[in-house]
Amino acid sequence: MRIKFAALWVVSMLATANGALAQAYPNQPIKMIVPFAAGAVNDFLGRLAAEHIKNKTGQTVVVENRTGAGGNIGLAQLATSPPDGYTIGMVGVTSFAVNPLIYKSMTFDPIKDLVPVAPLADTPLVVTTNAKALPMATLQDFIAHAKANPGKLNYGSSGTGTPAHILADAVLRAAGTQIAHVSYRGAAPAMTDLLSGSVQLMIASPGPATEHVKVGTLKFLAVVSGKRLPMLPDVPTIGETGQPPVTIATWWGVAAPAATPKPIVDRLNALLGEMLDDPAIKERFAKVYMLPLKMSADAIAAQLKADLPVWAKIVKDAEIKPE
């Protein structure tokens, strides 16, 4: 009886301590590491999250862009930071699922050294082509043209190993064809060459291309998603075009060092979940073609576990050479 009472007392004290820890957090400034350049999708999301946390807690959140090696330089800093909730960072699903497969010189293991805190947005990509240089009405038309003209077409991406590269390869491979890949240092120069007709296809966020689609220079052929985007209701999914569907999500969110206490992780998750419930934030997301993605810390960890083998197969099939 005494042993049982003692055990219950310990559990009660731990629960009280955890509750106090979460309630007290944060009580000093927080650093938000964004491992990509200012102006990128993850930078936009990181700054929104930083602003929201500051507004809700009164604590300053300093955004620090630490770029390089597909995000690995910034995430290495995050992985080795004190696990106290005062250094957090932006991550994508590919930070966990793709980078370890294509960067052999990584100094940390994202699966072991980082913990996903909260997803922020699902960022579906869209198959886009130059409507003037290659006037194809549908994705099926493009695939048929590619098969009839081997060696004459190419596609651009924001870089080797990026979702834009990997998913374009997956879509073409599933359709039974391949065209040459041209890697750029970011989405902007790839979009420039798509507009000029130097490359004929690109899979990318629809935001930068929308104005060009409106005037008829570019055309959206399909959404790389399991369902249509509410902001682009007339653009079919790949499955709806009659091609084999490629539906894996490309999400971005916040992570922390792996040993960060669970109460702090849950506190951050709750704060960021509140942000995603804000109608003004939802409106800002819609303008840049993002879908709010609200999940508990445990749920996003489970989703990541399910995503890992899917991405691993896609990367293996694409035969991407390690950096």
Residue ending a domain, among 241, 275, 296, is 241
Count other Cβ atoms within 10 Å, centred on residue 34: 25
3 has pLDDT over 80: no
Q: Pinpoint the alpha helices (H) of 149-278.
A: 163-174, 187-196, 210-214, 262-277
User: 105 vs 168, which has greater pLDDT?
Assistant: 168
Q: Are residues 234 and 265 in the same domain?
A: no
Q: Are residues 84 and 229 in the same domain?
A: no
Mean pLDDT, to the nearest integer, of 27-38? 94
Tell me which residue has tokens 């990541």.
304
Residue ending a domain, among 222, 241, 260, is 241
Count how many domains the chain has. Answer: 2
Range of the domain at 79: 30-123+250-318
Q: Is residue 196 part of a domain?
A: yes
Mean pLDDT, to the nearest integer, of 224-249? 90
Per-residue pLDDT reduced to its tens digit, 81-91: 999 999 999 99
Task: Write down the pLDDT at residue 14.
Answer: 44
Q: Are residues 36 and 108 in the same domain?
A: yes
The enclosing domain of 129 has a CATH number of: 3.40.190.10
d(CA 318, CA 97): 14
Q: Are residues 193 and 295 in the same domain?
A: no
Q: Are residues 137 and 237 in the same domain?
A: yes
User: 173 vs 249, which has greater pLDDT?
Assistant: 173
Q: Is residue 55 part of a domain?
A: yes
Q: Are residues 107 and 194 in the same domain?
A: no
Residue ending a domain, among 199, 217, 241, is 241
Q: Are residues 130 and 211 in the same domain?
A: yes
Residue 73: band (very low, low, confident or very high) from pLDDT cuts 50, 70, 90: very high
Name the strands in the sheet holding 180-183, side by side, starting at the edge strand that comes first in the sequence.
180-183, 154-157, 201-204, 125-130, 218-224
Residue 295: band (very low, low, confident or very high) from pLDDT cuts 50, 70, 90: very high
Q: Are residues 255 and 119 in the same domain?
A: yes
Q: Are residues 206 and 260 in the same domain?
A: no
Q: Is residue 38 part of a domain?
A: yes
Average pLDDT, the chain: 89
What SS3 state is found at 288? coil
Task: Write down the pLDDT at residue 76.
Answer: 97
Task: Write down the pLDDT at residue 11.
Answer: 46
Q: Are residues 259 and 210 in the same domain?
A: no
Tell me which residue has tokens 């929308």.
210
d(CA 175, CA 171): 6
Per-residue pLDDT reduced to its tens digit, 110-164: 999 999 999 999 988 999 999 988 888 999 999 999 999 999 999 999 888 888 8
Task: Write down the pLDDT at residue 180.
Answer: 94
User: 41 vs 237, which has greater pLDDT?
Assistant: 237
Residue 108: band (very low, low, confident or very high) from pLDDT cuts 50, 70, 90: very high
Q: Is residue 7 part of a domain?
A: no
The enclosing domain of 50 has a CATH number of: 3.40.190.150
Q: Is residue 164 part of a domain?
A: yes
Q: Are residues 256 and 305 in the same domain?
A: yes
| Side-chain-facing half-sphere of 251: CA atoms under 13 Å | 25
Q: Are residues 232 and 290 in the same domain?
A: no
Per-residue pLDDT reduced to its tens digit, 156-212: 998 888 888 999 999 999 999 999 999 988 888 999 999 999 999 999 889 889 899
Q: Is residue 21 part of a domain?
A: no
Tell me which residue has tokens 């310990």.
10
Per-residue pLDDT reduced to its tens digit, 265-280: 999 999 999 999 999 9
Tell me if 40 sits within 8 A of 56, measured CB to CB: no
Mean pLDDT, to the nearest integer, of 25-46? 92
